[in-house]
Structure 1
Amino acid sequence: MSAQPESLEFLPAAALLSEREFTTVRALIAEYAGIKLSTQKRNMVYNRLLRRLRARGVGSFAEYLEVVQREGSDEREAFVNALTTNLTAFFREPHHFELLISHAQQHAARRGAPLRCWSNACSTGEEVWSIAMALRESGGAGEVLGTDIDTDVLNTAQSGVYRSERIAGIPVERLRKHFLRGTGANDGLVSVRPELRAMARFGQLNLQSPVWPAMERFDVIFCRNVVIYFDREFQKKLLTRMADLLVPGGLLMVGHSESFPAAHPGFRSCGRTAYQRI
């Protein structure tokens, strides 16, 4: 008789997620999402997919992977969602937002049109709302598009509702200006103000898709801590696609340990992990 999903957590990952199954997982996530999982991620894969085994009521990883690979399977999206890393925070890497405010003020003085920003791996939305807050504080008009491959985190992002501990590092003055505190049944929650909601929109996008939906050009693109999952060849393709979507003089913000735009002739460094479209 096969083991029940609830019993899986009491056994070591190696005993349940075989090398062959792990190899299959790595191949599938590369095919579906373009994510290159390293061989050191076996325990992470085990822990995240274990929840999906329970949700589907299957007793082994082999059986689960059969479900994922079935033609027209409704589990593929959940599989991708489970393996997508969603580490984010409000005003993460604050130097980017200081640069954004300065850029937005200059933009407003020159052109007056709304500054268009894109967060292309927005996770649960903290980055999008941080961009919106920075634009609002700059005094100019702005619009923010947030996209991600993971539909679960997009739902959280679009709701704009977070537990109070998520905003613990934000100064009181900024909190009062941009958030509403929940009361009664919503005690312990905060919600972004309607003024911010009016500035943002969200949509699902796999950066690895050969065709992206039609988009107008952007003044600022945030592409932070996502290219580490792509191989070098695709990083080059992604950078070219983003360069085509940035207006001349537009900014590209990347992760704190990323420098991949430095080799592209269309960009010049303009700050710490920030690049300007030439």
Structure 2
Amino acid sequence: MATERLQQDALSARDHRRVADYVGRVAGIQLPESKHALIEGRLRKRQHARGLRSLRDYIDFALDEQAGAEERPHLIDAITTNKTDFYREPAHFRFLREHVLGEIAVRHERGWRVPLRIWSAGCASGEEPYTLAMEMLELRRMHPEFRFEIRATDISASSLAIARSAIYPHQRVASMPLPLRRRYLLRSRDRSLDLVRMAPEVRERVRFASFNLLTDAYDVPDSPDIVLCRNVMIYFSHPDRDRIVARFARILPPGGLLLVGHSESLSGSESSGGSGTAFVQIQPAIYRKIVPGAHP
């Protein structure tokens, strides 16, 4: 019956295109044929949640201009939710420690005169910004006068809900160094749950907000000094990547840093006035905004 119909109702090529066109238009995320199984699996969960008999019924409902208005954010959320880890690509965090100690601490400007501002753009369920917060708190242990602020954004409402709760299965923090786990994690009183929560001093350092990298305004009152947008732009088309990089270039100060995923590169980013040429690569997947008059 209903269960049998659900099992037989595979995602058609036509419905794949309909969903891909909508998600591409609204969120900029590309859903090629290679993502067919992922789309089907994630939308199947929304179909069940809505109690609709088939995937086609669900897609018809969600993409209906009036009837699906409330559901479409859930569709976007289901498609865009991505897994991440604490200390993913750890070389980046080693570099940031050295950058703060070797360049910023010497000048006593950013981080001292005014807070060092970091933007985790595409923060998923919070592992990246909380890793940043722990790293910066460790630096503050050496330099008590050091100040910093972390802004973390994502398009996925469900990911942001997890991030704000700051509660994770214990196995998710296994990659964290043991001293940091002891210092910054709280174990659940109910040990059978095997959950941990970030300590208040870590949670209070991160401000979470919803943000669409393609359509939202990048004009923020306090521009960041460092942007991490790692393993995010691989989901966008080349023109959309260029636009995003150009916007980062506009808001970063000269000498500001942009960190991308190790599978990503700014080479070839030439739109919006040549955004790719606004940066010079200083390490793998780490770019510095060129200072006018300085030699790259």
Question: Which digits, 9 at most, give the CA deviation of each residue in 1:98-139, with x for residues without a partner?
Answer: 111122223233211321100110000000101111111122
TM norm structure 1: 0.92
Structure 2 unpaired stretches of 5+: 141-145, 270-275, 291-296
Which of residues 71, 79, 83 is equivalent to 1:83? 79
SS in 2 for 1:154: helix
Amino acid corresponding to residue 34 of structure 1 in structure 2: G
CA RMSD of aligned residues (A): 1.8
CA distance in 1, matches of 2:228, 2:99: 14
- Residue 190 of structure 1: how far off its partner (Å): 0.8
Q: Distance in 1 between matches of 2:83 and 2:13?
A: 27
Distance between the aligned counterparts of 2:65 and 2:18, measured in 1? 16
Residue 169 (structure 1) shift: 1.6
SS in 1 for 2:88: coil
In structure 2, do the counterparts of structure 1 residues 80 and 158 end up closer, same or farther at CA, with 3 Å as the change threshold? same
TM-score computed with the length of structure 2 as normaliser: 0.87
1:102-181 matched pairs, under 5 angstroms: 102-105=98-101, 106-110=103-107, 111=109, 112=112, 113-139=114-140, 140-181=146-187
Instruction: Answer yes or no: is the 8 Å Cα contact 1:261–1:275 preserved in 2.
Output: no
Deviation, structure 1 residue 177: 1.6
From the superposition, tell whether residues 121 and 215 of structure 1 become closer, same or farther in structure 2 (CA, over 3 Å). Answer: farther
| Structure 1 residue 210: Cα displacement | 5.2
Q: Deviations over 1:19-70 (max 9, x none)?
A: 1111111111112211111111111111110001100011122211122123
Q: Secondary structure of 1:276's partner? A: strand
Q: Which amino acid aligns with 2:99?
A: H
Asked if 1:274 is matched to 2:275, the reply is no
The residue identity in structure 2 corresponding to 1:35 is I
Question: What residue ranges of structure 1 are gaps of 5+ in the alignment?
Answer: none
In structure 1, C-alpha distance between the alignment counterparts of 2:205 and 2:254, rounded to whole Å: 23
Question: What is the CA–CA distance in structure 1 between the aligned matches of 2:165 and 2:216, rounded to whole Å?
Answer: 29
Where do 1:204-243 residues align within 5 Å? 204-209=210-215, 211-212=217-218, 214-243=220-249
1:7 Cα deviation after fit? 3.6
1:55-94 equivalences in 2 (<5 Å)? 55-72=49-66, 73-94=69-90
How far apart, in 2, do the equivalents of 1:121 and 1:198 lie? 19
Identity %: 35
How many Å separate the matches in 1 of 2:285 and 2:217? 27
SS in 1 for 2:197: strand
Matches of 2:134 and 2:23, distance apart in 1: 34
SS in 2 for 1:218: coil
Aligned to 2:36: 42
